[in-house]
Amino acid sequence: MDEAGRCRAGRAYVTACIADDQDFIDNAARRVAPDALMFGVTELAQRAVLILARQRGVAPQQMARALLGPPAA
């Protein structure tokens, strides 16, 4: 599967998780191999953090911390 396909699968999986739609989550996860799905999810996360960081004028590391919060103790 090419990079575009992996990114599409990642988008589908993430949006299904946001919508809490288990059928759609399962469908998205079945479409590609787990490593391809992880690639798509990771690529989506990286792009989202970069875009938000640029919009807010902060470093990507700062944005990631703001989105995820402090590490669990």
20 domain-assigned? yes
Res 49: pLDDT: 95
36 domain-assigned? yes
Quick check: helix, strand or coil at residue 71? coil
Number of domains in the chain: 1
40 domain-assigned? yes
18 domain-assigned? yes
70 domain-assigned? no
Which range of residues forms the domain containing residue 19? Answer: 3-65
Mean pLDDT of 45-70: 93
Residues 10-28 pLDDT 10s: 888 999 999 999 999 998 8
**pTM of the predicted structure, to 2 decimals:** 0.76
33 domain-assigned? yes
Res 62: pLDDT: 94
Residues 27-37 pLDDT 10s: 888 888 888 88
d(CA 9, CA 29): 8
Res 26: pLDDT: 92
d(CA 41, CA 51): 15
72 domain-assigned? no
